[in-house]
Chain A
Amino acid sequence: MILSMFMAPEKAAPAAQKAAETAQAAQAVADPTLHKQGAGAVWETVSPWAELPQASTFAEGVDLLYMFIVALSVFFFVLIMGVQGYFMWKYHRKSDDQKTSSITHNGKIEFLWSAVPAVLLVVIFVWGEVDFLKQSVSPPDAVQVRVTGRQWFWTVEYPDYPGVQLTSSVDENAVTLVVPKGKPVQLTLTSEDVIHDFYIPAFRVKRDVVPGRYTTFWFEATQVGEFNLYCAEYCGDQHSAMIGKVKVLDPEHYAAYLIEAGKLEQEEGESMAAYGQRIYGKRGCNACHSLDGSPKIGPSWKGLWNKQETTDKGSVTIDDNYIKESVLEPNAQIVVGFEGVKMPSYKGQLDDKQISAVVEFIKTLK
């Protein structure tokens, strides 16, 4: 198909994949923090010549208009270059005193080659405008999602599912956004710092994420699967690391997934350290703090407990008090070397019990 020449793929979705997806969805309900962990990026490498999935109701229309413009462009390009090539061949200079034509203009031709493109351009314009307007009026029953962009990760929350908070992290292959298939989803986005942009190529949607105001767009996903999500407005050092995964689930699994994802209480028989590790994965700590010593946006947690550190306010020992302060008032004492980073506060988002669990988890990271 012509499309395959121009588009690249993320995941092929044949029957086997569907089976795996159902199994994974079932498993996801049981353990919503199922991630692939690892130092290297776990984004699948697929052939550059496979197709970008048409995974939303907008995608086919956008692709069709795109291909229409491609077709017209190819037609006119071949025409113009063909004529040019022909003239180059036929009218190359054969002798130095060769005579040339005195033609300087032709009203009929000039009118035609102005009017025909003008008409075609109007057609393209109208088509693009109509499709664009469809994208801006969200259906009234859309699932509501709130997205916050920060340097350099996304936080996604669901007003209908309190306590659910999904984040992005390039290393963790974290699921950033979960949506049900076949239902409209409206995103309301804002930024805590600079302008970002929320871009899901498979859905053909994109919107800037601006500090101090809200932008909004909607879509309806048509395929179960996982799709890449990118920040598409340059936002500083780690702009290219601000990528995430969008997971589309069948509506039956979607609700269960989010309810599981929202639960953040210490389970029966679970140690505080294990609880703290789950909090690490589900409250966005993993976006900026590594566990293996490798430098990320913030200091690594490996070997952090009882470490002597130099901060911008003097020397400090990393203990319960310092960690709690860093969680609630992160910019009170910043470790030297991280002065430029503005860690967001977790005041109101983590209670004392959860902070203690995080401390216990950190203690295990020698």
Chain B
Amino acid sequence: MADKESKHEAGHAREPSYLVAQKGLKSWLLTIDHKRLGMMYLGATMVFFFIAGMSAIAFRTELLTPGPGEISWVLEKLGMDPTQSATTYNKLFTVHGAVMVFLVIIPSVPAALGNFLLPLMLGAKDVAFPRLNLLSFWVYTLGALFFVYTLFAGGLDTGWTFYTPYSSNFSGTAVLSATFGAFILGFSSILTGLNFMVTIHKMRAPGMTWNRMPLFCWAIYATAVIQVLATPVLAITLMLLIAEKTLNIGIFDPAMGGDPVLFQHFFWFYSHPAVYIMILPGFGIVSELIAVHSRKHIFGYKAIALSSVAIAIISFVVWGHHMFVSGQSELAGIVFSFLTFAVAVPTAIKVFSWVATLYRGSIQFNTPMLYGLMFLFTFTIGGLTGVFLGTLSVDVHLHDTYFVVAHFHYVMMGGTIIAFIGGLHHWWPKMTGRMYPEWQGRWASLFIFVGFNMTFFNQFVMGQQGMPRRYYTYVPQFQQQHVLSSIGAYILLVGFLWIAYYLLGSLRKKNAPKEPLPDNPWGGASLEWHTQTPPIEHNFHGQPRVDSDPYSFPQIDRTGQVDHH
């Protein structure tokens, strides 16, 4: 397949890329080109990543000392009321969580990279419903505007989890606009998921069976199933919260016969599958990075593909592991714990398969591969620490401590974000027609790796020692560890700013390559590498046909010589 397609595309003269094919602001704002939409999502999610990241830098600075101080100092300097420092802290961690979850991680891989890559990888001209895709983007923007409004209308201090009765009856912050914003964002997610599912079912190139689809597409598919089935539950939950606040319906209010724990069931019924929306696309990226940069067929293709589907299904029945100490019945706890362990098995299978892919490969340690390998390190830690939390008796001790914070940062940041950055570098030439500077990429990745582990690893220890989460002040014994964590956060900040600097820098006119970049700078074998860099507006000059799978690298030795000792 690899050679056939490149000759097919190479035979054509270079045409204007999708970036310049149509001109003017309107051609972007009303585009139905999945590639342009992907880039717009990319820009938006990165802006919100910066905002949420700076929130974290702010509260990590407060946590340098056990008592209050840093935030009240800033408030005073800004002429604001320093006695509001505890509330300000609570708003900072809430905004960090809510923006990261709803505006960054859930959309980023599917909507940014997924939008750009899915039709290309499938050999299609666009997604199944391009106008629906445009609608998804504007719905996202509308939801985002409600969040931005929330920031200016008093912020949000409920935690991203909005637990009742605090969120419904006690918080004085802009809960309504934030919940309504999340409600709207949910529709963007649902529509994107629907679009991707239909695209994968109906628009694969001739010859591309399900088993010849890149694993990134399998991951997007599993994610899309969750998006479509789980997000409506979030919508209903948020509607109920809004109704509770505005109409006083009493569903979560014990004084009116309601049950505040019911909110937790509703909320986590979506939010647990949501964390798999966040990680599955990251898994898909890692499969591509590892295979391409070791020039070896992915090991265990079927297992990786089907494990994504298994994870998607099981993810719907584990939500109660967030509620082991909530007062839910012991039987519920037992069932949820068992199913939580069940979801660990397909996940472990993936990690082993990725490592096995490296065996007898030809590994190049460029920036995308460094992030792929980094993912294996940090995600494995994240996944293993999930085992502690799924264990009933141990979770009683660890629940709502920094152990949980460390675990989810290892899987969401050490997992999704690191995979995302790897994917960003891997597909950067294809998306932008520019190349990032390789040595800067490698050195910045070191900042990310060191900063990340320094920030979060010792939080496992802190949590086990009893340091609760969401604490504005803390007992002095934890200060050394908090300082370590905050220093790590500053190192991470430097790393991220560096990445932004050279990626954005690569887009400048003066950094344009003298010759257009090759179609296939990495030697990939999936269809996106067999079309122009960046692609033309309708992706391919003619319908590609496929007669082998997307990991058939020319370097693979089929004569058996490599495996013969």
User: Taking the complex as formed, is A305 at the interface, i.e. its CB lies under 8 A from any CB of chain B?
Assistant: no
User: Taking the complex as formed, is B543 at the interface, i.e. its CB lies under 8 A from any CB of chain A?
Assistant: no
Question: Across the interface, do B163 and A41 meet the contact criterion of CB distance under 8 Å?
Answer: no
| B326, B355, B393: the one within 8 Å of A135 (CB) | B393
Residues in A223-247 with C-beta less than 8 Å from chain B: 228, 230-241, 243
Question: Across the interface, do A48 and B361 meet the contact criterion of CB distance under 8 Å?
Answer: no
User: Taking the complex as formed, is A340 at the interface, i.e. its CB lies under 8 A from any CB of chain B?
Assistant: yes
Question: Across the interface, do A100 and B295 meet the contact criterion of CB distance under 8 Å?
Answer: yes
Query: 8 nearest interchain CB pairs?
Result: A212-B254, A201-B466, A101-B360, A132-B392, A131-B393, A128-B391, A8-B465, A240-B471
Q: Which residues on the B side are within 8 Å of A58 (C-beta)?
A: 393
User: Taking the complex as formed, is B219 at the interface, i.e. its CB lies under 8 A from any CB of chain A?
Assistant: no
Question: Across the interface, do B303 and A215 meet the contact criterion of CB distance under 8 Å?
Answer: no
Q: Which residues on the B side are within 8 Å of A233 (C-beta)?
A: 163, 400
CB contact under 8 A between A204 and B561, given known A66-B464, A88-B358, A212-B255: no
Q: Which residues on the B side are within 8 Å of A81 (C-beta)?
A: 376-377, 380
Residues in B45-94 with C-beta less than 8 Å from chain A: 66-67, 83, 86-87, 90
**Chain B residue at smallest Cβ distance from A81:** B377
Residues in A136-183 with C-beta less than 8 Å from chain B: 136, 151
Question: Across the interface, do B385 and A73 meet the contact criterion of CB distance under 8 Å?
Answer: yes
| A92, A121, A197, A206: the one within 8 Å of B345 (CB) | A121
**Chain B residue at smallest Cβ distance from A170:** B473
| B159, B464, B470: the one within 8 Å of A7 (CB) | B464
Question: Across the interface, do B461 and A97 meet the contact criterion of CB distance under 8 Å?
Answer: no
Q: How many A-B residue pairs have CB under 8 A?
A: 309
A77 and B397 CA atoms in complex are apart in Å by: 23
**Chain A residue at smallest Cβ distance from B88:** A237
| B300, B326, B344, B361: the one within 8 Å of A101 (CB) | B361
CB contact under 8 A between A206 and B399, given known A52-B465, A69-B388, A128-B394: yes
Closest chain A CB from B527 CB (angstroms): 20
A-B contact pairs, 22 of them (CB 8 A): A7-B464, A8-B461, A41-B476, A43-B477, A48-B480, A62-B397, A80-B355, A91-B358, A92-B364, A101-B557, A104-B299, A104-B300, A114-B348, A117-B344, A121-B387, A125-B390, A132-B333, A207-B327, A211-B260, A213-B254, A233-B163, A236-B171
Given contacts A104-B299, A194-B170, 20 further A-B contacts (CB under 8 A): A8-B477, A8-B478, A66-B394, A69-B388, A80-B352, A87-B361, A88-B365, A92-B364, A100-B360, A101-B557, A102-B556, A110-B303, A110-B353, A131-B392, A132-B330, A151-B170, A208-B326, A208-B327, A234-B470, A295-B83
Question: Across the interface, do B472 and A239 meet the contact criterion of CB distance under 8 Å?
Answer: yes
Question: Across the interface, do B396 and A118 meet the contact criterion of CB distance under 8 Å?
Answer: no
Closest chain A CB from B75 CB (angstroms): 14
User: Taking the complex as formed, is B259 at the interface, i.e. its CB lies under 8 A from any CB of chain A?
Assistant: yes
User: Taking the complex as formed, is B108 at the interface, i.e. its CB lies under 8 A from any CB of chain A?
Assistant: no
- Interface size class on chain A is 35 or more
Q: Which residues on the B side are within 8 Å of A241 (C-beta)?
A: 473
Question: Across the interface, do A87 and B358 meet the contact criterion of CB distance under 8 Å?
Answer: yes
Closest chain B CB from A286 CB (angstroms): 18
Residues in B87-124 with C-beta less than 8 Å from chain A: 87, 90
Residues in B387-446 with C-beta less than 8 Å from chain A: 387-388, 390-397, 399-401
Question: Across the interface, do A103 and B359 meet the contact criterion of CB distance under 8 Å?
Answer: yes
A204 and B381 CA atoms in complex are apart in Å by: 23
CB contact under 8 A between A66 and B388, given known A105-B301, A121-B344, A208-B326: yes
Closest chain B CB from A189 CB (angstroms): 9
**Chain B residue at smallest Cβ distance from A47:** B477
Closest chain A CB from B308 CB (angstroms): 15
User: Taking the complex as formed, is B180 at the interface, i.e. its CB lies under 8 A from any CB of chain A?
Assistant: no
| B171, B258, B356, B560: the one within 8 Å of A109 (CB) | B356
**Chain B residue at smallest Cβ distance from A114:** B349
User: Taking the complex as formed, is B351 at the interface, i.e. its CB lies under 8 A from any CB of chain A?
Assistant: yes
Contact with A along B355-385 (1 / 0, CB 8 A): 1101111111100000001001100110011
User: Taking the complex as formed, is A27 at the interface, i.e. its CB lies under 8 A from any CB of chain B?
Assistant: no
Question: Across the interface, do B296 and A101 meet the contact criterion of CB distance under 8 Å?
Answer: yes
Q: Which residues on the B side are within 8 Å of A8 (C-beta)?
A: 461-462, 465-466, 477-478
A239 and B171 CA atoms in complex are apart in Å by: 13
Question: Across the interface, do A207 and B555 meet the contact criterion of CB distance under 8 Å?
Answer: no
User: Taking the complex as formed, is A350 at the interface, i.e. its CB lies under 8 A from any CB of chain B?
Assistant: no
Task: Spot the interface stretch: B141-149, B334-342, B447-455, B528-536.
Answer: B334-342
Q: Which residues on the B side are within 8 Å of A228 (C-beta)?
A: 466, 475
User: Taking the complex as formed, is A265 at the interface, i.e. its CB lies under 8 A from any CB of chain B?
Assistant: no
User: Taking the complex as formed, is A205 at the interface, i.e. its CB lies under 8 A from any CB of chain B?
Assistant: yes
Q: Which residues on the A side are within 8 Å of B473 (C-beta)?
A: 240-241
| B259, B324, B348, B351: the one within 8 Å of A212 (CB) | B259
Q: Which residues on the B side are within 8 Å of A103 (C-beta)?
A: 296-297, 299, 359-360, 563
A131 and B392 CA atoms in complex are apart in Å by: 8
Question: Across the interface, do A129 and B337 meet the contact criterion of CB distance under 8 Å?
Answer: yes
Q: Which residues on the A side are within 8 Å of B90 (C-beta)?
A: 234, 236-237, 239
Q: Which residues on the A side are within 8 Å of B302 (C-beta)?
A: 105
A81 and B364 CA atoms in complex are apart in Å by: 18
Question: Across the interface, do A243 and B255 meet the contact criterion of CB distance under 8 Å?
Answer: no
Closest chain B CB from A334 CB (angstroms): 15
User: Taking the complex as formed, is B210 at the interface, i.e. its CB lies under 8 A from any CB of chain A?
Assistant: no
Most A Cβ at <10 Å: residue of B171, B302, B326, B478: B326
Closest chain B CB from A234 CB (angstroms): 4
**Chain B residue at smallest Cβ distance from A189:** B327
Question: Across the interface, do B464 and A102 meet the contact criterion of CB distance under 8 Å?
Answer: no
**Chain B residue at smallest Cβ distance from A109:** B356
User: Taking the complex as formed, is A99 at the interface, i.e. its CB lies under 8 A from any CB of chain B?
Assistant: yes
User: Taking the complex as formed, is B468 at the interface, i.e. its CB lies under 8 A from any CB of chain A?
Assistant: yes
CB contact under 8 A between A193 and B165, given known A48-B480, A93-B362: yes
| A73, A87, A97, A240: the one within 8 Å of B355 (CB) | A87
**Chain B residue at smallest Cβ distance from A130:** B393
Question: Across the interface, do B392 and A77 meet the contact criterion of CB distance under 8 Å?
Answer: no
User: Taking the complex as formed, is A61 at the interface, i.e. its CB lies under 8 A from any CB of chain B?
Assistant: yes
A297 and B165 CA atoms in complex are apart in Å by: 20
User: Taking the complex as formed, is B294 at the interface, i.e. its CB lies under 8 A from any CB of chain A?
Assistant: yes
A199 and B157 CA atoms in complex are apart in Å by: 22
CB contact under 8 A between A238 and B377, given known A73-B387, A128-B393, A206-B397: no
A215 and B260 CA atoms in complex are apart in Å by: 13
| A118, A199, A240: the one within 8 Å of B466 (CB) | A199
Q: Which residues on the A side are within 8 Å of B359 (C-beta)?
A: 87, 91, 101, 103
Q: Which residues on the A side are within 8 Å of B465 (C-beta)?
A: 6-8, 48, 52, 201
Question: Across the interface, do B468 and A232 meet the contact criterion of CB distance under 8 Å?
Answer: yes
User: Taking the complex as formed, is B325 at the interface, i.e. its CB lies under 8 A from any CB of chain A?
Assistant: yes
Q: Which residues on the B side are within 8 Å of A13 (C-beta)?
A: none
Residues in A74-90 with C-beta less than 8 Å from chain B: 76-77, 80-81, 83-84, 87-88
Question: Across the interface, do B392 and A128 meet the contact criterion of CB distance under 8 Å?
Answer: yes
| A98, A207, A240: the one within 8 Å of B325 (CB) | A207
Question: Across the interface, do B363 and A92 meet the contact criterion of CB distance under 8 Å?
Answer: yes
User: Taking the complex as formed, is A195 at the interface, i.e. its CB lies under 8 A from any CB of chain B?
Assistant: yes
A106 and B300 CA atoms in complex are apart in Å by: 8
Q: Which residues on the B side are within 8 Å of A336 (C-beta)?
A: none
A118 and B348 CA atoms in complex are apart in Å by: 10
Contact with A along B251-280 (1 / 0, CB 8 A): 000110011110000000000000000000
User: Taking the complex as formed, is B216 at the interface, i.e. its CB lies under 8 A from any CB of chain A?
Assistant: no
**Chain B residue at smallest Cβ distance from A201:** B466
Question: Across the interface, do B384 and A110 meet the contact criterion of CB distance under 8 Å?
Answer: no
Question: Across the interface, do B474 and A240 meet the contact criterion of CB distance under 8 Å?
Answer: yes
Contact with B along A189-221 (1 / 0, CB 8 A): 000011101010110111110111101000000
| A102, A121, A132, A207: the one within 8 Å of B393 (CB) | A132
**Chain B residue at smallest Cβ distance from A113:** B352
